Copies of this chain bind each other. A is one copy, B any other.
Amino acid sequence: MGERTSRLDVSYTGEPLISRIEVKVRFSEVDSIRVVWHGSYVKYMEDGREDFGEKYGIEYLKIFDNGYTAPVVYMRLRYMQSVTVGDTVVVETRYVPTLSAKMIFEYNIFRKSDNALVLTATTTQVFMSREGELQLNNPPFYEEWKKRWNIG
């Protein structure tokens, strides 16, 4: 993926940080071929990321209140199955440790009814000051957050 190397992962000895949330498919998210439109999964991933943030104390508002935003700069999605109206998906969001000043997440999205894996994805976020300046080093609040969760 080029966004991380396996070496960095090795240095991480803590428990995996992972969250799971259920999201019900909206009628408006289904397209004319009766399956969830491929762009709608970006919202499910955001739901997953926000759920992760609430569980581990790094949600959007926390980042914002610390004086930063965390725009997505890279996104990759691979679709295995489709889901439709009436379906509920389970979004599994896993934090991927990295030494660079980024937040990387991996996602597995499952169809709840039969537990089929419907999507795997990853996102990379950077930190920007409120003035829009890219942060090359971890912001202090993020450094503390990593220590708190015992992340390399």
Which A positions have Cβ atoms within 8 angstroms of B?
Answer: 24, 26-28, 30-35, 37-39, 42-43, 46-47, 50, 59-61, 69, 71-79, 82, 84-86
In the docked arrangement, what's the CA distance between A40 and B50, Å? 18
**A38 near B86: Cβ-Cβ < 8 Å:** no
> A74 to B78, Cβ gap below 8 A?
yes
Q: Which of B39, B69, B78 contacts A28 (CB 8 A)?
A: B39
Contacts of A61 in B (CB 8 A): 85-86
Q: How often does this chain occur in the complex, in copies?
A: 4
Q: A31-B28, A32-B30, A76-B75 are in contact. Are A60 and B42 (CB under 8 A)?
A: no
Q: Which of B26, B33, B50 contacts A43 (CB 8 A)?
A: B26
Q: Which residues of B contact A72 (CB under 8 A)?
A: 38, 79
Asked if A27 meets B60 with Cβ closer than 8 Å, knowing A32-B84, A43-B39, A69-B33, the reply is yes
A32 and B29 CA atoms in complex are apart in Å by: 9
- Interface-central residue, A34, A42, A46, A47, by most chain B CB under 10 Å: A42
Complex Cα distance, B28 from A31, in Å, reads 6
Known: A30-B32, A60-B86. 8 other contacts (CB 8 A): A24-B47, A26-B50, A27-B50, A28-B31, A32-B85, A38-B71, A59-B86, A75-B76
| Chain B contacts for A73, CB-based, 8 A | 78-79
